[in-house]
Structure 1
Amino acid sequence: MTADHLKDIQQFDADLWKVADELRANSGLASNEYFMPIMGLLFLRQATNRYREVLAAINADKAAGKMPDRPLVEADFTRRRAMMLPETALYDAILDRPKDGKLGQALTAAMEAVEAHFPPLAGQLPKDYERFEEPLLESMMRKFDTEALRNASGDVFGRIYEYFLAEFSKQGAHDNGEFFTPPSIVQTIVNVIEPDHGIVFDPACGSGGMFVQSSHFIEEEGQDTMKRVTFYGHEKNETTAKLAQINLAVHGLQGAIRAGNEAITYYKDPHELVGKCDFVMANPPFNVDEVDAEKVKGDARLPFGLPGVNKAKKVSNANYLWMSYFYSYLNDNGRAGVVMSSQASSAGRDEAVVRQKLVETGAVDVMIDVRGNFFYTRTVPCQLWFFDRAKERDEMRRDHVLMLDARNIFSKVSRAICDFNPEQQKNIAAIVWLYRGQTDRFLKLVERYLLQAIADGEATADPLAAYQLTLGTLVDLAQPFATEKREPDPLAETWAELTAARVTLDEDIKLFGEEVVARAQAWAGVTLDNAGLNAAREGLHDMADRCRDLTKQIDLAAKLAGRAVDTAIKELEARDSDLWGNVEVNKARKALEGARAKAVEALRSPRYFVKQADWLQERFPKAELRDVEGLVKLVDRAEIAAHDWSLTPGRYVGVAPEQVDEDFDFEEALRSIHIDLKGLNEEAEALAARVARNFEELGA
């Protein structure tokens, strides 16, 4: 499955920002002066991560006889999308060097060494670390040396960059960060247009996330990115263009990125790519209204004309300039996937005229509505537009547009941020596969979900056994005291409930294990067509239900055990009894909580993957595209014309009928509540600190 780039990211977001706070407090520099030094450290941290990861993979291949035991060369690393770093540029080696007052010099030398080994980065990395005092530099580096960052994977550099950029923008250090597209949205674009060959162009490339995710897609298909594609980009902000080059380099990639005034797409086409691109991907700035109409009038990249000019001779809204550019850059078989303001799809007057002309080409392929709160710096909803120039010549498809409303598809990352999780990304792609007649890919995804459910069901054996063992340990420790005769006995009822719950739980865990074995054995007889997979999925419902029920039983047993301990201590003064080993009981209670969490998480996974298969097959029971109220509809051109050429999916798909959820996911609901509560607490703490500072400044 697609890597979940946000997994555990919340653990260190806030801690990382403390580095910037420390710099602000101790360096005397403005935020725009320490922005790049911080990003340089993040680069070195991630480059070292990838180097270590690839080195381990190379050594494993040597041990397995898959490659000869010889000195390593640059190509060994670049083909695995990493840089072969010299020892002097390894993050941990720099951090562990003797304290001689030359840490800044060592960091600058490391950046120079990286640039020497990787020419595309020449002149891109920060080299001004010697102006920072050594204790401050060391403190910064140690904050970037946490276990979470050492083990980070995926497009984490871009994700952390997004967070830092949002925070720096609040300090006035940078633009609003609108150009950074959340990786899950980028991945969704990649899944739809599938950029696996030729020229890939992003005329508003920001930190290069579109290129990185394209690379992940190509490599998941077993191909070498740099042999399959060539990356081109524009980025008007030169600092951001440097970040894009750094992000590419971290992943062992290269691209031709033009920056500054020559890369302002409204007025320049420095790569001369009109009609040459196989894929265009972008998240351009929304609703820009200061483009000089006289400068762009007659541009060959605007085949549908200007979308409207105001009295100041400015283009009223540049959204449809961008749409025209994306269309014009594509070759005859090219595809584009772009993020756009949700206002654009139903904009009126001159913009509607351009939109009509776009629809009439037949190239508009898919429209996806995305809810708000997907971006760090914008809470508004957006839409994903997809063009396919080959569709213009397809008599079966040219007059239709797939409208997909994904506003009810999301996962809550924090109180302020939502995201598509990896399975949601795949499920959206699966709908597009059905639209393209790729039934085999749809069925393969369902098969993968079901196999994962079975595998994860089998994987519950150890955490369930560990939970039983730790529960038994706690019960055994508490039993001599709990079963002592006393009148009245406030512990008796809870102890009886715990004893009974434990017996029931042991029996149900046994039955669950037998069910998992039965499902695994039954899989051998499953036919992998739609009917066979439907039957297999329904056969897994009992296992999924047992996962839910066992979770409740495990939680209950843990609560009863905790209540028994509390009653013994608080009401019966167990600590004073020779029958009560307080230290051992406390250790066992803590171990039980850890085992409970692992068992519950293990049980969540099989049920989760069955539910993913349910989501797909219940909506598309024949493995064919059909209209699903509130989700998707294939709309013809006549219907679009009747709605003033609107391309807003929500206008066509309707509202999903309200349903009673007989299998309400209490765990997910509680998780959402916990996220909201955590966010509110953090905001309250920040506000309290701000109020306290204000009082101090007033001399109160």
Structure 2
Amino acid sequence: MTTNKPNGANLGFENKLWEMADKLRGHMDAAEYKHVVLGLIFLKYISDTFEAHRKQLLQEPYADPEDRDEYLAANVFWVPPEARWEHIQAQAPQPTIGQVIDRAMEAIERENPSLKGVLPKDYSRPTLDKVRLGELVKLVGDIDLKARESGVKDPLGRVYEYFLGRFAAAEGKGGGEFYTPQCVVQLLVEMIEPYRGRVYDPCCGSGGMFVQSEKFVEAHGGKLGDIAIYGQESNPTTWRLAKMNLAIRRIDADLGPYAADTFFEDLHKDLKADFILANPPFNMSDWGGERLTEDPRWKYGVPPANNANQDMNLALACSGLLSLSRSEFFKN
């Protein structure tokens, strides 16, 4: 059955792409394969955005379409020639396609400091089937065409988000470490109504809370930038997913310069947030609580040192900035 979305998209579009991509997975684990697929989608996104701005510059009499500063001034990632999608797709049938993609990722990170250390760069590894990789490049390259056929807006953003959810489901329990189901995220955002201000997630996973918050703002007549995004993530791989997820949505965010555990290395000590969104690690039975008994963030009491499931205080105390106590939360 086809499910219509407010922006005109339908789930049949994303699902067909997922089925095609999943067929190319072979014997690779979903946890490993997601970085292959999502990295290519990101590469396609920034190349498309670059090309769209390049076409605009070609129409301007005094603009230089190969001037890096022209793109930085418009908040567009500069994509060097060897990293542009047209070049990548032309090399897709070659056995060296893995090396071509790795060089493209390295070039993008080199030219865009905010992406340093974020992009996957192991497409040339011997265990990755280069024939399947070439076919996957073609599939990602066809997303725009399939989107037009289905009437889908923001195709790359939608596909990235949808694939995150499907990879989380494929990974089972482990997938919950980087992805919270969209329906749960949407409910949380609707409850706190972040129209304007500073939004913080102390264990942000792949950044779904932030994406949904921006969608909420736009759905209520606001614009990108009405909220300021802050967060951090302890898993380095997931931190990189979040950086890509937000970049593909053109959402500026301060996720810290690296991955870090909120409990033991708070990267936003001076932040006074207006809204807190979090899906804390409830099932973590050994989270080091005995080392944090005197932590000033325990405004509503010290959570148990064994399993966080025993007390909701952990959710409230992750940031130390929430204004509602447990009783007030449930009363409201």
TM over 0.5: yes
Offset at residue 115 of structure 1 (A)? 1.2
Distance 1:161 1:6, change over 3 A: farther
Matched, 1:7 2:11: yes
Offset at residue 111 of structure 1 (A)? 0.7
Q: Is this contact kept in 2: 1:3–1:154, CA < 8 A?
A: no
Q: Is this contact kept in 2: 1:155–1:209, CA < 8 A?
A: no
Offset at residue 95 of structure 1 (A)? 0.8
Matched, 1:305 2:301: yes
Alpha-carbon distance in structure 1 between the residues aligned to 2:146 and 2:286: 43
Alpha-carbon distance in structure 1 between the residues aligned to 2:229 and 2:237: 19
Report what 1:108 is aligned to.
102
Distance 1:48 1:191, change over 3 A: farther
SS in 2 for 1:111: helix
Offset at residue 30 of structure 1 (A)? 6.0
Q: Per-residue CA shift, 1:46-70, capped at 9, x if unaligned?
A: 33454556667x58xx98xxx8873
Q: Is this contact kept in 2: 1:5–1:183, CA < 8 A?
A: no
Higher relative contact order (CA 8 A, sep 6+): 2
Matched, 1:70 2:63: yes
Offset at residue 133 of structure 1 (A)? 5.3
SS in 2 for 1:200: strand
Offset at residue 197 of structure 1 (A)? 4.2
**Aligned pairs, number:** 313
Report what 1:256 is aligned to.
254
Alpha-carbon distance in structure 2 between the residues aligned to 1:252 and 1:219: 13
State how 1:445-484 maps to structure 2 within 5 Å: none
Return the structure number with greater helix share. Answer: 1
Matched, 1:119 2:113: yes
Q: Is this contact kept in 1: 2:18–2:163, CA < 8 A?
A: yes
Offset at residue 246 of structure 1 (A)? 1.2
Distance 1:140 1:191, change over 3 A: same
The structure 1 residue matched to 2:124, chosen from 94, 106, 130, is: 130
**TM-score with structure 2 length normalisation?**
0.76
The structure 2 residue matched to 1:329, chosen from 321, 326, 332, is: 321
Q: Is this contact kept in 1: 2:299–2:317, CA < 8 A?
A: yes
Alpha-carbon distance in structure 1 between the residues aligned to 2:117 and 2:253: 15
Q: Quick one: which amino acid aligns to residue 21 of structure 2?
A: L
Alpha-carbon distance in structure 2 between the residues aligned to 1:102 and 1:149: 29
Report what 2:140 is aligned to.
144
Q: Quick one: which amino acid aligns to residue 231 of structure 1?
A: I
Unaligned runs of 5+ in 2: none
Offset at residue 230 of structure 1 (A)? 3.6
Offset at residue 184 of structure 1 (A)? 4.8
Q: Quick one: which amino acid aligns to residue 18 of structure 1?
A: K
Alpha-carbon distance in structure 1 between the residues aligned to 2:236 and 2:107: 22
The structure 1 residue matched to 2:87, chosen from 73, 93, 99, is: 93
Report what 1:271 is aligned to.
268
Distance 1:192 1:51, change over 3 A: farther
Distance 1:322 1:4, change over 3 A: farther
SS in 2 for 1:177: helix
Alpha-carbon distance in structure 1 between the residues aligned to 2:304 and 2:132: 53
Distance 1:199 1:159, change over 3 A: same
Report what 2:231 is aligned to.
233
Q: Is this contact kept in 1: 2:201–2:276, CA < 8 A?
A: yes
Offset at residue 272 of structure 1 (A)? 0.7
Matched, 1:355 2:323: no
Q: Is this contact kept in 1: 2:92–2:137, CA < 8 A?
A: no
Distance 1:196 1:75, change over 3 A: farther
Larger radius of gyration: 1
Matched, 1:163 2:163: no
Offset at residue 315 of structure 1 (A)? 5.4
Q: Is this contact kept in 2: 1:241–1:258, CA < 8 A?
A: no
Alpha-carbon distance in structure 2 between the residues aligned to 1:76 and 1:148: 32
Alpha-carbon distance in structure 1 between the residues aligned to 2:257 and 2:310: 23
Q: Quick one: which amino acid aligns to residue 355 of structure 1?
A: R
Report what 2:46 is aligned to.
47
Return the structure number with greater strand share. Answer: 1
Offset at residue 124 of structure 1 (A)? 1.4
Alpha-carbon distance in structure 2 between the residues aligned to 1:42 and 1:204: 24
Identical residues among aligned pairs (%) = 30
Offset at residue 209 of structure 1 (A)? 1.9
Q: Per-residue CA shift, 1:681-700, capped at 9, x if unaligned?
A: xxxxxxxxxxxxxxxxxxxx
**TM-score with structure 1 length normalisation?**
0.39
Matched, 1:246 2:250: no
Alpha-carbon distance in structure 2 between the residues aligned to 1:250 and 1:244: 10
Report what 1:346 is aligned to.
none
Alpha-carbon distance in structure 1 between the residues aligned to 2:208 and 2:255: 13
